[in-house]
Structure 1
Amino acid sequence: MINKQQRKAFRLGLIVNPVAGIGGSVALKGSDGADTSQIALSKGAEPLANQRVKTALEEVSDYYGEMDVFTVAGDMGQTVCEELGIKHSIIYTPNDTQQTTSYEDTESAARAMSSLNLDLLLFAGGDGTARNICASVSEGSTVLGVPAGCKIHSGVYAITPKAAGRIVKMLVAGDLVSLTDADVMDIDEVLFRQGVVKAKRYGELQIPAELRYVQNVKMGGKESDELVLQDIAAHVIENMEDDEIYIMGSGSTVNFIMEELGCNNTLLGVDVLSDQQVIQSDVTAKELLPLIKDKKVKLVITLIGGQGHIFGRGNQQLSPTVIKAVGRDNIIIVATKTKLQALEGRPLIADTGDSELDKALSGPISVVTGYHDLVIYPVGYEEL
């Protein structure tokens, strides 16, 4: 158990991977690889990791004066601390403090923080960043991830940036919070970009056991009940209108619909249909907007099994601007009842990066679970 009252100030470590998830909006499926972040930037991608950390730390604003914060120079932590007026100490400086920082910087910073007797190491990134932290921190370190990557299979991340902030707030406030071990998972991004998901466990990290706010490890594999998927596909296809544009999200359930249409599909990307034919494959966020401008549009998406995310995990091409242009009433969520039951009553999660949009998306929503078979399921907000 952690009890902050035993210390004069809460000792918080902060490491930000500034390029985490940068490839998502431009259909690069991640940011791993020496040149990927530069390619993403050249395609117009915008780094969002620091904004997500800022969202998390704003939840702790009443307690800034009760924290000793140790962080990394530049965009790996210093920038967001200065923006929020959080007093901090720099314990590591990368060779390049801007957007070309590397996984070696993350690992070096984590090793430097391991000797500081931290109460919590807060880090922002995706599965690759979690691997770096896992490889570098000392045994018994307590960590928590702010989700900022494209692919997040690991169980060490909060479900949203705000959720991460709420856990930190509980700890700083002196609430008794149990600890648990969570798996660190990652997939091969080279294969991922080819439509192949190959996940591997890389270890475990100790995290706060606030299960309301921490995501489950992603369920792997395709839906096994082919008959149910055929029913879902039949319902969606029957209701397709010739004068509408259809944005087809990622995931195996949507992939099955595309297969039933006889269309080539980007399993881990976003495709666009008109008259039940692909008009553009594996689109980026910027490419989507002109395709749907002044058009009647529907968006077909599914949820991440075991986690419940409908936005913000693996589909960053569906930017807040795109989602607003589509409108909540034109979002078609497809999922088997088995997939919904696996959530054990937890709500669906919209983590778009725009809190007002997340709030607007919340509330009961229809989910297609079969042929002419829909259920009402909640999209959460307040508890996130």
Structure 2
Amino acid sequence: MRIGLVVNPVAGLGGRVGLKGSDGADVQEKARALGATPHAAERAALALAELRSRIGGPFTVPTAGGPMGEDAVLDAGLIPDVRYRPGDPTTAADTVRAAAALAPHADLLLFAGGDGTARDVLDAVGASVPVLGVPTGVKMHSAVFGATPRAAGEAAALMAAGGVRIRDAEVMDLDEDAVRDGRVSARLYGHVRVPDVPVRVQQRKVGGTVTDPSSVRGIAAALAERLGPSELLVLGPGTTMRAVANALGADVPLMGVNVLAGSGTVVAADVAAAELEALAGTTPAWIAVTPIGGQGFLFGRGNQQISPAVLRAAGRDRLAVAATEAKLASLGGRPLLVDTGDEDLDADLRGHLPVLTGHGRFAMYPVR
């Protein structure tokens, strides 16, 4: 079985610096000015290394040149078969051309990127060849990504071994400009074919609103009771966490990571990882997040500002997972997921966590 690879080298560049995406040269330049560094090739190499560990090797990987795949293939100890040479700097047009050039030479095309990259791959190959995303972007609401880079490699290995069904999966994307203005505008762009490997391949994000205000008020009250007089509360993004902030008397951006004092005062709004690490390094903080509806991700999808350093400073005992019962039901029994970019931390977070569903109400839920 031939497995190809195309990498969007700048995917995810804006995540930890709080830019809510990486689309466009201006955003990428701003991200770099804020200290962002690319990590897409590193995560792609991790997926390939997992694939190699399961099927043996080395083997040849049809790919694009340099940072668009060749570098990751070499890092994984495999043999690149370069079928497309990108420009410098690379663009979305390079992704489309590379995917189109690789499709005739692959039975499965891996791509490293986010929702914008998934759209480019859709434009290039449609349903002509199965694809699978290695998650390296900021949002990744589409149902075309492995849950983690290693999960993508594992799913590819299972497909190579045979017996894996192929299903149609949605390619979704948000309007990044609207998100930066505090508006969520998602659109279905089409479908691609992906390996159907439950848990290892994520579901699409399910949008929704807070349907039980009394539960949200109870969650807010329970979080307020946990805070000591000098402690901070870090709230992840999303409608549930924004409703919690409102119940505590604070108005915060919908898609940002925000920091409150115990009194409900906004200490910092829409923070980047560096600012959050500085705060968490000097003041004890609780971290409150809600799983992404339909997907179940706690970390690694749209909240990369809550970095491994921030999570370690807080500790597992100061992590509060909160969700209404309706949001948990939207998972259909699937586990909660973590993809922090730090495999040791992910392992520490797995197991079971109490999910706060209201004042004094909890549900023990598995984390994978």
- Say if 2:316 is the partner of 1:328: yes
Deviation at 1:84, TM superposition (A): 1.9
Deviation at 1:139, TM superposition (A): 3.5
1:297-376 alignment, distance < 5 Å: 297-376=285-364
User: Given the alignment, which residue of 218, 228, 242 partners 1:241?
Assistant: 228
Deviation at 1:138, TM superposition (A): 5.0
AA aligned to 1:238 is: E
AA aligned to 1:16 is: V
What residue number does 1:259 align with?
Answer: 246
1:259-298 alignment, distance < 5 Å: 259-275=246-262, 276-298=264-286
User: Given the alignment, which residue of 108, 112, 127 partners 1:120?
Assistant: 108
Deviation at 1:218, TM superposition (A): 0.4
Deviation at 1:274, TM superposition (A): 2.2
Secondary structure of 1:170's counterpart equals helix
User: Given the alignment, which residue of 170, 174, 182 partners 1:183?
Assistant: 170
AA aligned to 1:39 is: K
CA distance in 2, matches of 1:34, 1:165: 30
User: Given the alignment, which residue of 16, 34, 40 partners 1:43?
Assistant: 34
Q: CA RMSD in A?
A: 1.4
AA aligned to 2:271 is: V
Determine if contact 2:126/2:191 at 8 Å carries over to the other structure: no
Task: Return the TM-score normalized by structure 1.
Answer: 0.92
- Say if 2:141 is the partner of 1:153: yes
1:81-100 alignment, distance < 5 Å: 81-96=73-88, 100=89
Determine if contact 2:144/2:171 at 8 Å carries over to the other structure: yes
Determine if contact 1:12/1:67 at 8 Å carries over to the other structure: no
Of all paired residues, the percent bearing the same amino acid is 44
AA aligned to 2:68 is: M
What residue number does 2:188 align with?
Answer: 201
What residue number does 1:6 align with?
Answer: none
CA distance in 1, matches of 2:68, 2:30: 20
Deviation at 1:241, TM superposition (A): 2.3
User: Given the alignment, which residue of 170, 177, 197 partners 2:158?
Assistant: 170
Deviates most, 230-239 or 135-144: 230-239
CA distance in 2, matches of 1:67, 1:203: 32
Secondary structure of 1:81's counterpart equals helix
1:334-356, Cα deviation, whole Å (9 max, x unpaired): 10122112222221111001111
Deviation at 1:124, TM superposition (A): 0.8
AA aligned to 1:106 is: T
Gaps of 5+ in 2: none
1:301-340, Cα deviation, whole Å (9 max, x unpaired): 1110111100000000011111111111100111012211
Deviation at 1:280, TM superposition (A): 1.2
Q: 1:138 and 1:233, CA in 2 relative to 1: closer, same or farther beyond 3 A?
A: closer
AA aligned to 1:107 is: V
1:202-260, Cα deviation, whole Å (9 max, x unpaired): 11001111123111110112222222222222222233322101111111111011111
- Say if 2:179 is the partner of 1:192: yes
Deviation at 1:193, TM superposition (A): 0.9
User: Given the alignment, which residue of 71, 80, 86 partners 1:79?
Assistant: 71
Deviation at 1:64, TM superposition (A): 5.1
Deviates most, 236-245 or 295-304: 236-245
Number of paired residues?
Answer: 366
Determine if contact 2:237/2:254 at 8 Å carries over to the other structure: yes
Gaps of 5+ in 1: 1-9
Q: 1:297 and 1:139, CA in 2 relative to 1: closer, same or farther beyond 3 A?
A: closer
1:51-70 alignment, distance < 5 Å: 51-62=42-53, 63=55, 65=57, 67-70=59-62
CA distance in 1, matches of 2:231, 2:126: 55
CA distance in 2, matches of 1:75, 1:178: 31
1:165-202, Cα deviation, whole Å (9 max, x unpaired): 10111123x22111111111111000011111111111
- Say if 2:120 is the partner of 1:129: no
Task: Return the TM-score normalized by structure 2.
Answer: 0.96
1:5-43, Cα deviation, whole Å (9 max, x unpaired): xxxxx2111001111111010010010122111110110
Determine if contact 1:114/1:138 at 8 Å carries over to the other structure: no
